[in-house]
Amino acid sequence: MEYFIELFFSGLTRGSIYALIALGYTMVYGIIQLINFAHGEIYMIGAFTALIVTGVLTYYGWPHLAIILIAAVLAIFYSAAYGWTMERIAYKPLRDAPRLSALISAIGASLFLQNYVLLAQTSDFLPFPSLISDFAFLDPVSNLFGTTDFLIYTTTGVVMALLTFLIKFTRVGKAMRATAQDRHMAMLVGIDVNRIISITFIIGSATAAIGGVLIASHVGQINFFIGFIAGIKAFVAAVLGGIGSLPGAVLGSLVLGWTEAFFTGYVSSDYEDVCAFVILVIILIFRPSGLLGRSGVQKV
């Protein structure tokens, strides 16, 4: 039973990280019906930004708590800037083009960012320093999950709550919902659609950066390719939960995380990545709209 519980919390950690990335996927898709395949690379850039900042501040002898907080904040802002720039350069010119054009542009942006970081950094795994001290109140359950796991759980919950509040109760959120429902009608009633789309990319990139910093602290190493696999799995999670639905993105991420953890623990870790794609195929066959998604009606 203890082994089952350990796998449960391991899956919860995975699922929480996937959720932070999947939220960006589902927000962008909900607004402009675009799968931003470069979103995983934003997650990777957030992790590398945090690594560079921690290296500089550690060299100058800053306190560990200050280092990790400053690194997280700068990673969020830097990744958000990348997300905004990518939307302006790669997606905005193709907003009224066929969807295939935007999809190809997204894949191109993903490959560009991967190789850009590869050339700017290295292809090797780089160690990420452990700067987060263990929380004393977690000692009774330290055999189940650690401090970084706890931070991942709580951060994902807080981010989900804040995004839900933003979407439901703020003017920007109402504008996002209007743009998602009918972009052209939203423009007619005075909503700055381009601004709303840019804000969506900024928020989605920020959540991905948070995930990148947390997973780097948890695993202790990063490289230029971590965003590709994590991005693909987060996309699967978003589709599983119902792409376009924030609760669906979180639910799909948790289901995927638990599935991978239990499969790894009870079957084999060699085929861990296969789980995500098997789940994707099953969902697309039997429930294309996802667990919490709604079947759309196309008007003709």
Q: What is the CATH number of the domain that holds 233?
A: 1.10.3470
Phi-psi bin for 295: left (phi > 0), alpha (psi -120 to 50), beta? beta
Is residue 248 within 8 Å of residue 22, measured between CB atoms?
A: no
Judge whether 183 lies within some domain: yes
Judge whether 19 lies within some domain: yes
In this predicted structure, what is the pLDDT of residue 298?
A: 45
Judge whether 42 lies within some domain: yes
Judge whether 61 lies within some domain: yes
Number of compact structural domains in the chain? 1
Judge whether 294 lies within some domain: no
In this predicted structure, what is the pLDDT of residue 299?
A: 43
Model confidence, pTM: 0.91
Encoded amino acid at 213, one letter = V
Determine the length of the chain: 300
Judge whether 297 lies within some domain: no
Q: Which segments of the chain have a pLDDT < 50?
A: 297-300
Tally Cβ neighbours within 10 Å of residue 159.
20
Judge whether 298 lies within some domain: no
In this predicted structure, what is the pLDDT of residue 198?
A: 92
Judge whether 201 lies within some domain: yes
Q: Structural domain of residue 45, as residue ranges?
A: 2-286
Query: By C-alpha distance, which of 235, 211, 255 is closest to 11?
Result: 255
In this predicted structure, what is the pLDDT of residue 295?
A: 58
